[in-house]
Amino acid sequence: MKSRLTNMVWRTMGESILYSLLLLAVVLYVLYTYGYISAPKSWKEMLVIGFVLIAAVMVIGGGFGYFLASRISSRIEQLKEVMMLFEKGNLSRKVPPLGEDEIGRLGEQLNRVSEKWEEQVSSLQRLSNDNAQLAEKARYSAVIEERQRLARDLHDAVSQQLFAISMTATAVGRILERDFEKAKRQIYLIEEMSSVAQSEMRALLLHLRPVHLEGKNLAQGLVELLVELQAKTPIEIAWEMDEQIQLPKGIEDHLFRIVQEALSNTLRHSKATRMEVKLVKPPEGIRLSIRDNGVGFLLDDKKMASYGLVSMKERVSEIGGSIQIITAPDKGTRIEIRVPIVQEKGEKKDDGATH
């Protein structure tokens, strides 16, 4: 963008010089035609006068073009900075007055778009909070539904693995004396299936955590979840939490469930040895980052459905945030979630929530 603005300055200077030279030629022609000026007496005098006039016109035209382009590029730069902040979810920055021309009107229109966007985000977050209160009333039915889903998952995943382990172990007992090498390979297979079943169980146990945070804020609930997970898995877990962050209940519940889903994916699919979770509050809102060093995957529609990424994106959209999933085979996975925090009208900013 900066190089484009520099090119615009040079282009404007060149156009101004060209127009100035054309204007000089027209003026000289008119003055000479009507007898206001006469032709120089010698070629030397003509060259000197022409060089001086052209140099003066180039300096004046170039200077005017530079002034005009710099003024325009400066205002465009301010528009660009505000739009980049909007892209990151920071709605607090407004476009300053940029004049009465088209650029100024564009800045005013961008401010109006920002205000409407802020209202939409605020409305989404209020709706999310209302939904959380309704979900609290329907807690018991949700628990029953969750238990049914876990029962299906246990049957589809863990039970099948255990059945396969049982059958393989029976086969090992039959061929142990006849074919030791084959029995040894089947024992390795049993170890692998046991590891898969254990990962599935750990992932399912994550979903047995309560849907709500039991009176804790989001950071406290996540720390408790990660401490418990660290004690039960060989994965190295690091986290950074700003425990001063206070959020509406609806946003907290959605973010907590998103982290649960991401941790479940890591346990089931990633084969990671390390993962990191960060919850911080930069000026533009809330930033939640989840990263692992696992096998990664190709981000396509099938993977998004099987890994629950569609559900995660829907949850983020419901609270007016944005989500970015960065992954590739053998490159690990990183999930970046940003949620703008909109101050209600008449509400004072809580400076104590920042760090």
CATH number for 324? 3.30.565.10
What is the residue-averaged pLDDT of the chain?
76
* Whether residues 192 and 248 fall in one domain: no
* Whether residues 182 and 268 fall in one domain: no
* Whether residues 194 and 67 fall in one domain: no
Distance CA 296, CA 332 (A): 4
* Whether residues 218 and 203 fall in one domain: no
Its sign, for the CA torsion 279, 282, 287, 291, is: negative
pLDDT of residue 304: 65
Q: Which residues contact 137 (CB under 8 A, 6 or more apart)?
A: none
Burial class, 312, CB count within 10 angstroms (exposed 0-12 / middle 13-18 / buried 19+): buried
pLDDT of residue 353: 37
Residue 355, pLDDT above cutoff 50: no
pLDDT of residue 204: 60
pLDDT in tens, 109-165: 777 777 777 777 777 777 777 777 776 666 656 566 666 666 666 656 666 666 677
Query: Bigger pLDDT: 200 or 265?
Result: 265
Angle at 283 between CA 279 and CA 284, to 5 degrees: 85
Q: Which percentage of the chain shows pLDDT scores above 90?
A: 13
* Whether residues 262 and 349 fall in one domain: yes
* Whether residues 200 and 329 fall in one domain: no
Residue found by looking up tokens 């949620």 in the block: 339
pLDDT of residue 153: 62
Tokens of 130: 């209302």
Residue 251, pLDDT above cutoff 80: yes
DSSP-assigned beta bridge partners for residue 290: 277, 335
What's the mean pLDDT in 296-311?
75
Q: Which percentage of the chain shows pLDDT scores above 70?
A: 74
What's the mean pLDDT in 28-52?
77
pLDDT of residue 158: 62
In eight-state DSSP terms, residue 268 is: I
180, 208, 236 - which closes a domain: 208
pLDDT of residue 157: 60
Least confident piece of the model among 123-127, 141-145, 246-250, 280-284: 141-145
Its sign, for the CA torsion 345, 216, 351, 291, is: negative
pLDDT of residue 186: 75
Distance CA 277, CA 54 (A): 66
Are β-strands 286-292 and 333-339 bridged in parallel, bridged antiparallel, or unpaired?
antiparallel
Confidence of residue 350 (pLDDT cuts 50, 70, 90): very low
Residue 265, pLDDT above cutoff 60: yes
Residue 349, pLDDT above cutoff 50: no
Confidence of residue 175 (pLDDT cuts 50, 70, 90): confident
Q: Which residues contact 283 (CB under 8 A, 6 or more apart)?
A: 90, 92, 354
Are β-strands 322-327 and 286-292 bridged in parallel, bridged antiparallel, or unpaired?
unpaired
Kindly calculate the radius of gyration of the chain based on its CA atoms and give it in whole angstroms.
Answer: 33
CA 12 to chain centre: 36
Burial class, 219, CB count within 10 angstroms (exposed 0-12 / middle 13-18 / buried 19+): buried
Asked whether residue 230 is assigned to any structural domain, the reply reads yes
Least confident piece of the model among 1-15, 40-54, 76-90, 330-344: 1-15
Least confident piece of the model among 117-126, 299-308, 318-327: 299-308
* Whether residues 232 and 341 fall in one domain: yes
Asked whether residue 75 is assigned to any structural domain, the reply reads yes
Asked whether residue 300 is assigned to any structural domain, the reply reads yes
Query: Bigger pLDDT: 248 or 69?
Result: 248
* Whether residues 240 and 305 fall in one domain: yes
Asked whether residue 171 is assigned to any structural domain, the reply reads yes
Q: Single out the residue of 327, 211, 207 nearest to residue 272, CA to CA.
A: 327
For the beta carbon of residue 8, count every other beta carbon within 10 angstroms.
15
* Whether residues 345 and 225 fall in one domain: yes
Structurally, the chain folds into a number of domains equal to 3
* Whether residues 176 and 312 fall in one domain: no
The most confident of the ranges 97-106, 124-133, 159-168, 266-275 is 266-275
Residue 58, pLDDT above cutoff 70: yes
Residue found by looking up tokens 């960065």 in the block: 326
* Whether residues 251 and 317 fall in one domain: yes
What's the mean pLDDT in 30-57?
78
Residue 256, pLDDT above cutoff 50: yes
Distance CA 184, CA 164 (A): 16
Distance CA 73, CA 96 (A): 15
Amino acid at 144: I
Asked whether residue 72 is assigned to any structural domain, the reply reads yes
Residue 95: enclosing H or E segment and its boundaries?
none
Model-level pTM? Answer: 0.51
pLDDT in tens, 183-199: 777 777 777 777 666 66
59, 87, 115 - which closes a domain: 87
Its sign, for the CA torsion 96, 98, 100, 105, is: negative
Domain of 256 in residue numbering reads as 214-355
Residue found by looking up tokens 């246990």 in the block: 154
Asked whether residue 46 is assigned to any structural domain, the reply reads yes
Cite the DSSP H helix spans in the chain. 2-33, 43-87, 102-137, 139-153, 160-175, 180-206, 218-232, 249-265, 301-306, 309-318
Distance CA 270, CA 263 (A): 10
* Whether residues 151 and 225 fall in one domain: no
87, 109, 128 - which closes a domain: 87
pLDDT of residue 139: 62
